[in-house]
Structures are given as C-alpha cells and as structure tokens.
C-alpha cells in the first residue's frame, strides 16, 4: 500500500515523486525504463526565456531541477541582459547523461520513495476516488492518489518521411495501455505533435569556420542553495541555413508528414520544424542554428533550430548544406512524434482531475512542451497529491504570485490547442514575478507546506533582511538617486559590498532603480488579488443562476472555477456574467 503512485519519471514525474516523498508520503515512482529517468529527449539545456523563471520557482519551493542542472552545467548564459530585469532568463547547457545520473541519484537516495520499472495500464477507483493502479504484468497496487506524468509516451508514433512506427522518444518504447483508462475516467483525448533535430558526430563538424558562442563569466547558478562555483566547460557555436538548404526542403515538401497529411495533429508554434519555418517565413534567406554539445565526453552534438520530420535522404542533403556541416555524419535522424494528451480544462488549479478525487496530471500529458513546464507542473501536482491525502487545503499559485500560476491558470482556464510553451509575455505582472526574487515570493510558502527545508528559509530571510538594510542605507545616505541613473550600479555606492550577498545587492538595486514601476505593478497585483480571493463554492449551481447567459452557465459548470478572478478569464464568460456572479456570491455570503 502506497500513499501516492507517480506514473512516469520524466521531468514532471521526478519533481512530483520527490515532492510527495519529502512531504512524508510513501511514494512509488513507475518508469517504462530506468535508464530513461529525467531523459532530455530533445535539447540539451535547462532554462531559457520564461523557462528560467519556472526553474527558479521550482527550486524556491524545494524542487530538484535547479540543483541538478547546477551540478551538471557545461555552459551558462543569462539571456536578454540588454533588456530589463523582468525578462532576464538563465539558460544552461547540460551534460545530458550526467544530468540523468544526478536526478536518478536524488530519487534513489530519497526516503519514502521507491522507484520501479514497469508500465501502468489502468488507474482503479473505488467510490469515485482513486484506489490503485494495474501494471502491464498484472500487478494490482493500492494507493490513495495517483499523479500521471506520461510525457509523449501515450500511443507515441514516430515519423521520418514516409517511414512511421509506434515508439517513444529516442528509440524507447511507447505506452499504449493507459489512454483507454483515462477515457474511461472521463477525459477527452487529443493528439499533439513535437519533434527534434538530428544529432551530429562532433568529429565531422568544422568548428574552425563557425561563430563561437561562449558562456557568461562568472556563470550564475539556478539554485538558491548552490554554493559551489559554476564553470563554463564547453562553447556553443552559431551557423545558418542558406538558399540551398531552403530549396532542398521546398523541393521535398510533398514528402514531409506535416505537409502531406500524414500528421494532422497540432505542433508547437514557438518551436516549429525547419520545413515549417521555411514555408512560414519565405522571405528570409537564412535561419540561425546553434550547435550545442550533449555532454563533456560525448561525441554527439545537437543542432538547435533544425527540427524536422523529412525523409532520411533529404536530411543528409539539407544538413550538409550548412556551413561547418558539409561533411557531417548524422548519428541520429531528426523525427516528429505524435502522442496522446488530455484536454487540460478537465483539471482544477491544483492540477487535480475535476471528476476524479485523488487523480493529478502534470507535464506534456496536459498539453505543454518543455522540461521546465513539466517540472513546474510536477512539483505542484506532487504537493497537492500529498495535501489531498493529509486532508489539507490545496496549494494554489495564482497569476500574480508565480509563473507557475500563469502556466496552470492558462491551462485550466483557457485550455490549449497546441503544445503550450511558457514565455515572459504571458505574465501580465512580469516585473514583479522576476526570476531573481523567486525565493522571496515562494520559499516561505514551500516551507509552510513541509517541502522547502529550513536552510532554504534561512537563506531567504537573510536575503530579505540584507535587502532592507541596503535600501535603508542608500536612502539615508542620499545615494538612492544616484543608483536610479541607468549607468550606475550598487557596488561602488557601498562601503563594503562583500558584506552583503550578491542576491541581496541585486534585489536592492532593482527595487530602487525600478521603484516607480514596481509600485504600479504591486498596485495591479493587489487589485487582481481581490478577485482571486473571492472564492466560489465547489458545488455552485451555475446552471440554476438566473442572469447568467447559457454559454456562461455551461462553461462555469464544466470548469468549476476556484475564484471570481478565474471565472472572468474563462472564454465565453463575459464581464456581465462576472457581475451576476458577484451579486450571487454576495447574497450567498449574507445568508
């Protein structure tokens, strides 16, 4: 008998299982293949625009991804440095195999966590609640909650030109049994598509003619707990497609599954295949490609920006038109993969299934893309599965509190018709929700639920105190005006900068430089929070509320919004409907 069973050990499953076990619940983690734990099936990196914010938030809550990437970084860069701090986003190249080993070690050393290889084909219920799972080998395992983190494995199908077969990523097996169980539990299933570029033998790359892309010095860690020095151990390189590349692709579009009708499912708009980019941006003569190492002692390199599902002969021809790759050997072909996922509108803001108590879902099975989006959902689902068993209130992050809140609110309120990717532009409060203050926003909350440890809380409180001290000093000495000049930084204005942590100095600098903007944003956050705190009853009889339009009644009844704020963001619910809800809620409270 386990408290919680997590299905899938990708980036969502790892965080869900660790969170549940760290909160004191007996947890079982199932994976199709023990060698595929925390597999980076696509790009060999963690973070990026918007995604770096998610990693910092996962870390602040007590997650593992930030610490794992800090231990296995090959190169680190802060993106968007020329812009404001709201969009600064950390990205680190990983040693993919070392990252897997690092995460696997975290799982196997965690108390109350058991890891097993096997396929779960059914989720069992009793009295409408989760009661256990059944494996492909016939094992019935009782539990009180299940977290589904199946990634792209459900009925996975691989496409390389005319060739196609059932399979998971990187030659792994698909999971064909669980979809039917999800349908039986009332979920609507859809098909999404994603893809990955070819891998290149490093010995066949002409690095001498490529543009070197070094990391930042000194590199910045992801985790608020990392004390050891991060080192840039490898470079990345920049190259471009050209008219020859484009012509080869255009001449073979009829053999591309995305264009000949073989694939009809939606792919990621913000990470398109090279054939989609050539067609969509026909006026462009070239597209950027980044060559990225897959490991310190790995001869395979990743070609970022050249995902494809074109046939093998076309891939060899088009890759060899790229400067630096004229004689390249493809060690692994590019491919597209189709997979089953659910309609995320069937979930609440705790990532729990609205119709099945004790069932939670996280990651690509919810229609997202990316390791970071998966990890963010995984930790939230693991937390809430644990709180469900402890009969405590769910842990909800709203749009004004975290990028995780933006991600989950978008999924559960608006839904998604394509693989969802986090971007800074999705967050209306992004100056407030910076990556540098994720610990100040979330660590105390993670500690209160029993996940973030005492050391995390101590460090956060020290940073908070030092930030206040620095701001008080600068204002008392009339130096805050100097700091507001764009060219000035905080360290020259301090008698002893080393007496304060880099994080505290950074916070004080940002808060003084952007004080006026932050005050406006914090006022907007307070205003938004008023609507988020007006909670709606879980059993509200929306179909019977007079004054609501029929479309609004149906949408509200199906999605069961947690608050007035969330109700107002549901497509099909108008401001007039929200006004009716406010009147109805006031009358209910007065009874």
Q: What is the DSSP string of 506-550?
A: HHHHHHHHTHHHHHHHHHHHHHHHHHHTSBPPTT--GGG-TTS-H
Can you identify the CATH homologous superfamily of domain 2-196+339-444?
Answer: FAD/NAD(P)-binding domain (3.50.50.60)
Question: Taking phi first (over 0 means left), then psi (-120 to 50 degrees means alpha), and beta for anything else, what does residue 541 get?
Answer: beta
Asked, as a colleague might, if the bond just before 149 is cis with ω within 30 of 0, I would say no
> What's the pLDDT score for residue 33?
97
Backbone angles phi, psi at 355, to 5 degrees: -100, -5
Coil vs helix vs strand at 137: coil
Of 121, 91, 103, 105, nearest to 30 (Cα)? Answer: 121
Question: pLDDT tens, position by position, for the chain (591 residues)?
Answer: 899 999 999 999 999 999 999 999 999 999 999 999 999 999 999 999 999 999 999 999 999 999 999 999 999 999 999 999 999 999 999 999 999 999 999 999 999 999 999 999 999 999 999 999 999 999 999 999 999 999 999 999 999 999 999 999 999 999 999 999 999 999 999 999 999 999 999 999 999 999 999 999 999 999 999 999 999 999 999 999 999 999 999 999 999 998 999 998 988 888 899 999 999 999 999 999 999 999 999 999 999 999 999 999 999 999 999 999 999 999 999 999 999 999 999 999 999 999 999 999 999 999 999 999 999 999 999 999 999 999 999 999 999 999 999 999 999 999 999 999 999 999 999 999 999 999 999 999 999 999 999 999 999 999 999 999 999 999 999 999 999 998 999 999 999 999 999 999 999 999 999 999 999 999 999 988 999 999 999 999 999 998 999 999 999 999 999 999 999 999 999 999 999 999 999 998 887
CA 491, distance to chain mean position in Å, is 34
Cα 5 to Cα 266: distance, rounded to the nearest angstrom: 30
Give the fold, CATH level 3, of 534-590.
DNA polymerase; domain 1 (1.10.150)
Domain boundaries, the chain: 2-196+339-444, 199-336, 475-528, 534-590
Q: What are phi and psi of 28, to 5 degrees?
A: -120, 125
C-alpha dihedral sign at 504, 506, 512, 517: negative
Q: SS3 for 48-92, per residue?
A: CCCHHHHHHHHHHHCCCHHHHHHHCEEEEEEECCCCCHHHCEEEE
Which pLDDT does position 278 carry in this prediction?
95
Which residue, 288, 282, 273, is CA-closest to 240? Answer: 288
Using CA atoms, how far apart are residues 322 and 554, in angstroms rounded to an integer? 53
The fold of the 199-336 domain, in CATH, is: Elongation Factor Tu (Ef-tu); domain 3 (2.40.30)
> Both ends of the chain: CA-CA distance in Å?
44
Q: Cβ of 485: how many Cβ atoms within 10 Å?
A: 9
Burial class (CB in 10 A: 0-12, 13-18, 19+), 541: exposed
Please give the pLDDT value at position 591. 79
Q: What is the pLDDT of residue 267?
A: 87
Sheet holding 45-47, edge to edge: 45-47, 89-94, 73-79
Burial bucket for residue 173 (CB in 10 Å: 0-12, 13-18, 19+): middle
Residue (of 4, 23, 14, 5) closest to 383 by Cα position: 23
- Strand bridging mode 129-135 / 120-126: antiparallel
Q: What's 218's DSSP letter?
A: S
Q: What pLDDT does 266 receive?
A: 87
> Greatest CA span in the chain, whole angstroms?
78
Look at residues 4, 16, 23, 103 and name the one whose alpha carbon lies nearest to residue 453. Answer: 23
Report the Cα 85 to chain-centroid distance in Å: 20
């Amino acid at each position: 008998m386990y408290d919680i069973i997590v299905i899938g050990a990708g980036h969502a499953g790892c965080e869900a299982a660790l969170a549940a076990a760290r909160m004191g619940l007996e947890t079982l983690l199932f994976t199709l293949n023990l060698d595929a734990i925390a597999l980076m099936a696509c790009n060999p990196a963690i973070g990026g625009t918007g995604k770096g914010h998610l990693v910092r938030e996962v870390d602040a809550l007590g997650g593992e991804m930030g610490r794992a990437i800090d231990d296995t970084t090959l190169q680190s860069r802060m993106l968007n440095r020329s812009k404001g701090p709201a969009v600064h986003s950390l990205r680190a190249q990983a040693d993919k195999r070392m990252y897997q080993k690092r995460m696997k070690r975290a799982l196997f050393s965690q108390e109350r966590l058991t890891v097993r290889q096997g396929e779960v084909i059914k989720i069992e219920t009793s009295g409408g609640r989760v009661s256990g799972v059944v494996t492909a080998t016939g094992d019935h395992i009782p539990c009180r909650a299940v977290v589904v983190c199946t990634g792209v494995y459900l009925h996975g199908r691989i496409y390389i030109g005319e060739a196609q077969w059932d399979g998971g990523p990187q030659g792994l097996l698909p999971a064909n049994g669980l979809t039917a169980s999800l349908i039986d539990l009332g979920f609507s299933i859809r098909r999404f598509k994603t893809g990955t570029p070819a891998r290149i033998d490093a010995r066949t790359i002409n690095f001498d003619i490529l543009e070197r892309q070094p990391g930042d010095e000194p590199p910045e860690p992801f985790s608020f707990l990392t004390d050891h020095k991060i080192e840039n151990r490898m470079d990345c390189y920049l190259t471009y497609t050209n008219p020859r590349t484009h012509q080869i692709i255009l001449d073979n579009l009829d053999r591309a599954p995305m264009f000949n009708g073989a694939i009809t499912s939606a792919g990621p708009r913000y990470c398109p295949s090279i054939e989609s980019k050539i067609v969509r941006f026909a006026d462009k003569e070239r597209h950027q490609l980044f060559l990225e190492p897959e490991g310190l002692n790995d001869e395979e390199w990743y070609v970022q920006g050249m995902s494809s599902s074109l046939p093998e002969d076309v891939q060899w021809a088009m890759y060899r038109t790229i400067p630096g790759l004229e004689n390249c050997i493809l060690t692994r072909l590019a491919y597209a993969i189709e997979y089953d996922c659910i309609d995320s509108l069937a979930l609440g803001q705790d990532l729990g299934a609205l119709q099945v108590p004790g069932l939670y879902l996280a990651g690509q099975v919810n229609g997202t893309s990316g390791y970071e989006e998966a990890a963010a959902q995984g930790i939230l689902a693991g937390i809430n599965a644990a709180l469900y068993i402890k009969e405590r209130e769910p842990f909800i992050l709203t749009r004004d509190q975290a990028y995780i809140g933006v991600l989950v609110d978008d999924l559960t309120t608006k839904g998604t018709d394509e693989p969802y990717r986090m971007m800074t532009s999705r967050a209306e409060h992004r100056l407030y929700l910076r990556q540098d203050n994720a610990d100040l926003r979330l660590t105390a909350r993670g500690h209160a639920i029993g996940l973030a440890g005492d050391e995390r809380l101590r460090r956060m409180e020290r940073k908070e105190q030092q930030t206040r001290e620095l701001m008080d000093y600068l204002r008392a000495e009339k130096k805050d005006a100097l700091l507001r000049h764009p060219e000035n930084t905080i360290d020259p204005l301090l008698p002893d900068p080393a007496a304060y942590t880099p994080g505290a100095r950074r916070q004080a600098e940002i808060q003084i430089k952007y004080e006026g903007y932050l005050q406006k944003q914090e006022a907007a956050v307070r205003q938004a929070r008023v609507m988020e705190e007006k909670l709606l009853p879980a059993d509200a009889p929306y179909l019977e509320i007079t004054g609501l339009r029929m479309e609004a009644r149906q949408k509200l009844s199906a999605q069961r919004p947690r608050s007035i704020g969330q109700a107002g963001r549901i497509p099909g619910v108008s401001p007039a409907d929200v006004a009716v809800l406010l009147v109805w809620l006031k009358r209910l409270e007065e009874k």
